[in-house]
Structure 1
Amino acid sequence: MDRPSASHQMVPEEEIIEVKAFIDLFMIAPQTFVDQAEFRCMPLAGGCAISLPSAPAIGLNRVLGIVAPEDLDMACEWMSKRAGRRYLQMNAATAPQRTHDWIRKRGLVAQGHGWAKLRRTAPSTPLIHSGEVATRQVNVTEAEIFGSMMCAGFHFPANLTPLWSAIVGKDGWSCFFAELDGRPIATGAMYAADGCAWLGGGSTVPEFCNRGAQRALIAARLNQGASQGVQTFVVETAQPSADEPNISHANLIVAGFEQIYTRMNYRFPDGS
């Protein structure tokens, strides 16, 4: 991993735990996978830059938690050596004008409606989910099944299975299955540190969508985190719009999450 920048900026709590999760994801990834997939991560100024060219997801090819132009220069230089699509994620509403000027000068272009960032406090009593779907934690022996299901649910290439399999059973991580009649049909993950938790990895096998699996997994992770002393939970999902509703966003709102801001996705120009 590259050495962090000496500079530092104030990063919101909601971003810090997400940054920590992805740095840890890199740290625990199998070395053979890191080498073969050219997986890289650089902590910088309280945020990070992460690159996995074979992954179609923005989340694995982005700069996160960095807004100061001098730090963005370093992140941009680092990203320029990486292949694939690359993005800067930022809350445009709170970024200083000089950062917006930097984005224009560098030729970054906003794409889509952005990502909604949501937060809630820990439940005061355990949540009870009723329905046909049950949840349980993933056993270490089931790590490959978990990883392959995540890839299938997110339409990731199968060669990313070792990455997601690696988080099962690791310190800080809690991985869950949602099951229907004893068959795993959906996945969910949580990374917790310092009283905060980031929720991710919520994917459902396509033929079992709309059966309540993700609502059950949200409750399971909130209960697990609360039992570990987590006080604040954060998560992100695609920003819904009139022409593109998002059931994940709706599930999170029903579960007590509140949207606190929208983070835009600015794509680096090819060749930068």
Structure 2
Amino acid sequence: MDRSPASRPAVPEEDIIEAKAFIDLFMIAPQTLVDQTGFACMQLGTGCAISLPSAPAIGLNRILGIAALDDLDTAYEWMSKRVGRRYLQMSAAITPQQKGDWIREHGLLAEGNGWAKLRRAAPRTPLTHAGEVITRQVNGDEADTFGSMMCAGFGFPTNLIPLWSAIVGKDGWTCFFAELEGRPIATGAMYASGGYAWLGGGATVPEFRNRGAQKALIAARLNEGAVQGVRTFVVETAQPSAGEPNISHANLIAHGFEQIYTRMNYRFPDGS
């Protein structure tokens, strides 16, 4: 099995910017939260292994942006010492036979339909949004409100509020509220670096869903990113299926995003 540097597979730029965002999220996390939750992250090349056991989301308990087998071995060994549900994420399009063999040898099993990865270029002219919802950037003194809304929207425990509050106002990050009659009802975040931007943090207060908040937040981030010099935007959401339509996926397609690949979630065996 050839593992020479010349044969090392390339990681998609769309995964690299996402990994950068989560590495930065770890770097700016309050030390008290890191100590209390066991939050940890290891950077490997353009990717990372990240672990926050108290977070129920795959996004904070996974290996991402790693394709070389040597790096996968290192990440797997590190992640195996962690607890909770852990995953390896890899694009189905860049999983050749040797990667498939590696995944089977380590007992990882595909779970669910995977995540759809989407991309679009920056808008040439500002996008408009019709409707009663308006958007604005989050002010520094509203960081706790932003973090609280994100945790509530994603079902995270309240002790993780400081994690999401910490990104407000930090270099590379731009955070938004969607408001209805002056009340924040939804959140959205953008991390930009090197001409790319990753969109995340889209959460809506349950009683205000289906009011157009996330559509407005997509447009707001595209417009702001274009002002900041972003050339390419990327985002991921659950892969839709015939029996399970995905509103988030539909909203992104309606805003000019194109699905470029599906990334599978391979779960670590219990007890590893």
SS in 2 for 1:112: coil
Q: Secondary structure at the match of 2:230?
A: coil
Whether 1:18 aligns to 2:18 is yes
Please name the residue that 2:190 is paired with: 190
User: What is the aligned residue count?
Assistant: 266
Q: What amino acid sits opposite 1:29 in the alignment? A: A
Deviation at 1:10, TM superposition (A): 1.9
Give 1:93 deviation, angstroms: 2.3
CA distance in 1, matches of 2:261, 2:11: 14
Deviation at 1:67, TM superposition (A): 2.1
Asked whether 1:213 is paired with 2:213, we answer yes
Matches within 5 A, 1:100-115: 100-115=100-115
2:160 is aligned with 1:181: no
What CA distance in whole angstroms lies between the structure 1 residues aligned with 2:133 and 2:94? 40
Q: Which residues of 2 match residues 40-59 of structure 1 at below 5 A? A: 40-59=40-59
Tell me which stretches of 4 or more aligned residues in structure 1 moved more than 3 Å: none
Match of 1:4 in 2: none
The correspondence of residues 135-174 of structure 1 with structure 2, limited to 5 A, is 135-174=135-174
Structure 2 distance, partners of 1:196, 1:93, is 21
Mapped to 1, the partners of 2:52 and 2:185 lie a distance apart of 26
SS in 2 for 1:42: strand
Shift of 1:66: 1.1
Deviations 1:34-53 (A, max 9, x none): 11010000011321000000
1:3 corresponds to: none
Is the counterpart of residue 255 in structure 1 residue 255 in structure 2? yes
In 1, Cα distance between equivalents of 2:107 and 2:69? 14
Q: Does the 8 Å contact 1:9/1:45 carry over to 2? A: no
Alignment partner, residue 223 of structure 2: 223
The unaligned stretches of length 5 or more in structure 1 are 1-6
- Percent sequence identity is 79
Residues of 2 paired with 1:16 and 1:109: CA distance? Answer: 24
**Secondary structure at the residue paired with 2:113?**
strand
| Structure-2-length-normalised TM-score | 0.96
Match of 2:93 in 1: 93
**Deviation by residue 1:13-62 (Cα, 9 ceiling, x = unmatched):** 10110010000000000000011010000011321000000000000000
8 Å Cα contact 1:122-1:231 kept in structure 2? yes
Q: Report the secondary structure of 1:171's partner residue.
A: coil
Farther off after superposition, 68-77 or 29-38: 68-77
SS in 1 for 2:174: strand
> In 2, are the aligned partners of 1:9 and 1:46 still within 8 Å (CA)?
no
Q: Which residue of 2 aligns with 1:65?
A: 65
Which has the higher mean CA deviation after the structures are superposed, 150-159 or 188-197?
A: 150-159
Partner of 1:270: 270
Q: Which amino acid aligns with 2:109?
A: V
In structure 2, the gaps of 5 or more residues are: none
Query: Do 1:191 and 1:198's aligned partners in 2 also have CA atoms closer than 8 Å?
Result: yes
Q: CA deviation at 1:69?
A: 2.1
Q: Distance in 2 between matches of 1:93 and 1:192?
A: 25
Structure 1 distance, partners of 2:102, 2:70, is 10
Shift of 1:127: 0.4
* Residue 160 of structure 1, CA deviation: 0.8
Amino acid at match of 1:92: A
Cα deviation, residue 71, structure 1? 1.3
Preserved contact between residue 68 and residue 99 of structure 1 (Cα < 8 Å): no
Task: Give deviations 1:223-268, integer Å, cap 9, x for gaps.
Answer: 0000000000000000000121110000000000000000000000
- Superposed CA deviations along residues 120-167 of structure 1, whole A, max 9, x for unmatched, are 000000001110000000001000000000001111111110000000
1:198 shift after superposition? 0.1
Aligned to 1:113, the other structure's residue is in SS state coil
C-alpha distance in structure 2 between counterparts of 1:14 and 1:49, whole Å: 17
Q: Which amino acid aligns with 2:229?
A: G
1:84-106 Cα distance to aligned partner (Å, 9 max, x none): 10000001222221111000011
Residue 9 (structure 1) shift: 4.8
